[in-house]
Amino acid sequence: MSKPSKNSEMRKEGAWTPEDLKNAVEAMRVLLEEYIQFQKDRDSSLEHRLGMLSHHNRRLSYALMLFLGGIVVLMSILTYYGKVSGDALLFLVGTVTGYVVVMIQGLIGPVFEPIPPEAK
């Protein structure tokens, strides 16, 4: 019978040699660098999207506030000259105030859908 070599005695099945460890660490390093780059790209994309959303929301809010303010001013002028009753102006101001509060709540609320809690 042939005698097993010294090299095969040292390397048992499932044992890691220093070279194997070095190769595994190098492979993990490459994968981790790619993962980190992926996360940076994803975060950059999310930051750009949030910036665009906030810019759009700001412009829309300014336009709506200007429009609603114009209507209230016009109704105030008509009320001053007696063409519209004070009750109608009060109703309009209350409605506009409620709308503004709901709009602001929507703007400061979450941008994305919240993650639902897990069912227990």
- The number of C-alpha atoms within 13 Å of 7 and in the hemisphere containing its C-beta is 0
pTM listed for this prediction? 0.54
As a residue count, the chain comes to 120
pLDDT value, residue 53: 84
Q: Is 117 contained in some domain?
A: no
pLDDT value, residue 78: 93
pLDDT value, residue 1: 47
Q: Is 114 contained in some domain?
A: no
Q: Is 76 contained in some domain?
A: yes
Output the CA torsion 72→75→77→78 (10° steps): 180
- The 10s digit of each residue's pLDDT in 43-56 is 888 888 888 888 88
Q: Is 97 contained in some domain?
A: yes
46 lies in which domain range?
Answer: 17-108
- The 10s digit of each residue's pLDDT in 77-119 is 999 999 999 999 999 999 999 988 888 777 777 656 666 677 5
DSSP string computed for the chain: -PPPPHHHHHS-TTPPPHHHHHHHHHHHHHHHHHHHHHHHHHHHHHHHHHHHHHHHHHHHHHHHHHHHHHHHHHHHHHHHTTSS-HHHHHHHHHHHHHHHHHHHHHHHS-SSPPPPPPP-
**Of 64, 90, 94, 65, the residue nearest 75 (C-alpha):** 90
Total domains present in the chain: 1
pLDDT value, residue 28: 94
Query: Range with the lowest mean pLDDT among 3-12, 15-24, 37-46, 106-115?
Result: 3-12
**Of 105, 101, 91, 99, the residue nearest 67 (C-alpha):** 99
Q: Is 10 contained in some domain?
A: no
Mean per-residue pLDDT over the chain, rounded: 83
Q: Is 6 contained in some domain?
A: no
Q: Is 88 contained in some domain?
A: yes
Q: Is 52 contained in some domain?
A: yes
Q: What percent of the chain lies above the pLDDT cut of 70? A: 81
Question: Residue 8 above 60 pLDDT?
Answer: no
